Structures are given as structure tokens and as C-alpha cells.
Amino acid sequence: MLLQELKTKGIEVIFLDGIYFKVSPKEKITPELMEEITKQKQKIIQLLKQKAPAFTCPICGNKKYKWNVSKDVWVCESCGMLFKHAKDSDSDIKELSRYLEEFLKQHRGYVLVKSEVLNETIAWTLPAYIKHLQNKGYVCYLPEELACIRQLAPTPDAFRKIHMAKKMFEGKITIQ
């Protein structure tokens, strides 16, 4: 099956707007492979549609996903959030939380995410930077909270409610 073949070859598939896709990196795509991809284009789109998250990214409101072939997860192109097709188990929450922690470390401790869903910029941060960011007026989300939000898989509207509650009570999001 072609998708599997692409994965084996370390080729990334980027699925855009649920309509079309891009493959990269270019140097790994031979003319023969390109011909095969073109031939099977519709079939690939169908498969991607089955695998892609059905919802808009609840954090930032975007619909662009990059399929991380090695981890078999989807990454929101805009904010970097991870999505899995199936509902995550508890161990996946820990795994996602660790991934986000690493991601933040690579970005010097925090990132500011412009959210179309909230019409506001929020901060994803390691605990060390919370005070600093709160003083600047950002609502802060820690890696484990983001992982929990992912587990809840909220609609954009539900995420707005979670955010409002967090803002009002400065509480922490957890899953029982």
C-alpha cells in the first residue's frame, strides 16, 4: 500500500484543508514514485481523510495537519499540537506531555500561540516561566494540561469554555 511505502521511506505527508496533500522532502521522491503518487492521488486522499482528525484544531482553530510518519500522529501545522486518530490512553497522555515538554525546551521554555478559536494569544510554557508570562497578561498552559485537553478532544466551542474557566479561576486542567 502506497501510504505504508511512503512511511517506510521516511517521506512526510502533509494534508491540507482535507482536500489536498504535499509530500516531502523532495530529494527522497524519485520520478517513479511521483508517477505512482499521481496515479493513486484520489485513493491517497481518501485514506488521509480516514486517518485525519475530523475536527478543527481546538487550540488554534487551524485545519492544517502534518502527518508525522514515524510516530503515526498528526501535528497541527499552526500551533504544533499533536493529534491521534484513536482516543488516547493514559500512557499516551504522559507521552504527549513529555513530547510537549521537549518541544518547549527546544523553544527556550515557552511559545506564544495565537488562537483564532479564542481570539487571543495564549502561552504554552514550562512551569518556570508562568509568573513571567502571567505578568505580561497571558493565560498559561502547561504541557500536562495541553495533553489533557487533547484527551478531552474538545470542539472549539468547548475549548473556549475550558479557557474561560481557566481564566476566571486560574485553575489547572486535569482529567479524573
Question: Could you list the residues that contact Zn ion (CB under 5 A)?
Answer: 57, 59-60, 62, 76, 78-79, 81
Cell numbers that stand for 111 in this block: 511559545
Least separation in angstroms between residue 11's CB and Zn ion is 23
Least separation in angstroms between residue 135's CB and Zn ion is 25
Please confirm whether the linkage preceding 58 is cis (ω < 30° from 0): no
Least separation in angstroms between residue 76's CB and Zn ion is 3
Least separation in angstroms between residue 78's CB and Zn ion is 5
Nearest residue (CB) to Zn ion, 76 versus 146:
76
The three-state secondary structure class of 124 is: strand
| Residue of 138, 141, 136, 132 lying closest to 173 (CA atoms) | 141
Nearest residue (CB) to Zn ion, 117 versus 133:
117
The three-state secondary structure class of 123 is: strand
Least separation in angstroms between residue 33's CB and Zn ion is 30
CA distance 75 to 84: 9
CA distance 41 to 28: 18
Nearest residue (CB) to Zn ion, 22 versus 131:
22
Instruction: State CA 125 to chain mean position distance.
Output: 16
Q: CB within 8 A of 45, min separation 6: which ones?
A: 19, 20, 21
